[in-house]
Amino acid sequence: MMSKMLVAFVFTCLFYVGSAQQLTVSALFAFGDSILDTGNNNLLATLTKVNFFPYGRDLGGLPTGRFGNGRVVSDMIAEGLGLKNLLPAYRNPALSSNDLVTGVCFASGGSGLDSITAMMQGVIWVQDQVRDFQNYITRLNGVVGSQEKTNEIISNAVYLISAGNNDIAITYFTTVTRRLQYTLPAYTDLLVTWTRDLIKSLYDMGARKFAVMGTLPLGCLPGARSSIANLFKVCEVFSNQAAAMFNQKLSAELDNLGAAFPGAKFMYIDMYNPLMGLINNPQASGFIDAADGCCCTPMSIMPCLDASSYVFWDIAHPTQKSYQTITPNIIQDIKAKLA
């Protein structure tokens, strides 16, 4: 009898431990660049926007401002966390009050951690995205009717960040301003410091669960392979080295942030290696072309017929199928590491 009671007790304990480890998510908030942007640039006076055909071709033919042919990572993670299929852009004038409760996207295509990155493209710098989030909290409080409920949503939400891609690929490698000021190791150190500053801004406003993406393999994007001298379209080494350097530093920083931000949880999302897996062995996942963009490149002005056979949609952004291939593992990691 005692042994049966002991077994029952152990089973009950294991059940409650397992239950305690389940991630409860109230909302998803996305900050950063075009990997996550769902349309915040549409009304900006910038060339860095995609609210026109053929973008959105596989999203009911609607060019919503997402930088791809269909849904992007922020949409898929929102769905994977049981929130909604599409994460709306905060600056969308048609944003409904109901959408506020389960999360919105503040990210801006072309933006970055460096203020110069956003300024030279006329897009929303990440610190300005934080100001949008501050305005969002005021709006949310009006919708839910109490500060207590607002605080509950804010503290139980996941904060998804993708920044650094444009800082390295554009600001550092295609302009001279930062290269004259900083070596690459010094600049990547600065990007990590700015990431910490972004996290602190959100933490001070109640954020507690952070999922931070590293950069893509920047030297393997179609735009980096398309120079006239690059006849064989090989990946550009220096951009990949810079991306790997930043990613390594970012991952190490996130591992150590728990002590500085009590009660918060952090995880690093590796975007580099999963995409490199598709690039190096596209056939394994049903792709045909991993070097070219399906559309909107100097070599592919007209879109390809089937974007699902391409790893990349345009010069810098993966296709919906690429995201669908790599995002399930990201969602599982979020559920496991932020619980």
pLDDT tens profile 37-82: 999 999 999 999 999 999 999 999 999 999 999 999 999 999 999 9
Over residues 180-203, the mean pLDDT reads 98
What's the Cα-to-Cα distance from 329 to each of 73, 274, 324, 333, 335, rounded to whole Å? 12, 10, 10, 6, 10
Report d(CA 263, CA 135) in Å as an integer: 24
pLDDT of residue 229: 60
Does the annotation count 96 as an active-site position? Answer: no
φ/ψ of 216, rounded to 5, equals -70, 170
What is the average pLDDT score of the chain?
A: 92
In total, the chain counts a number of residues equal to 339
The band of 297, judged by pLDDT with boundaries at 50, 70 and 90, is: confident
Strands (E), the chain: 28-32, 158-162, 209-213, 265-269, 289-293, 310-312
- Beta-carbon count within 10 A of 144 CB: 17
pLDDT of residue 296: 87
Higher-confidence residue of 227 and 328: namely: 328
> Domains, the chain, ranges and CATH?
25-337 (3.40.50.1110)
Higher-confidence residue of 339 and 140: namely: 140
Over residues 276-290, the mean pLDDT reads 97
Contact 210, 264 (CB under 8 A): yes
Does the annotation count 114 as an active-site position? Answer: no
Does the annotation count 34 as an active-site position? Answer: yes
pTM for the predicted model, two decimal places? 0.92
What's the Cα-to-Cα distance from 272 to each of 132, 140, 281, 331, rounded to whole Å? 29, 35, 14, 16
The one catalytic residue among 26, 34, 74, 111: 34
The one catalytic residue among 99, 114, 167, 314: 314
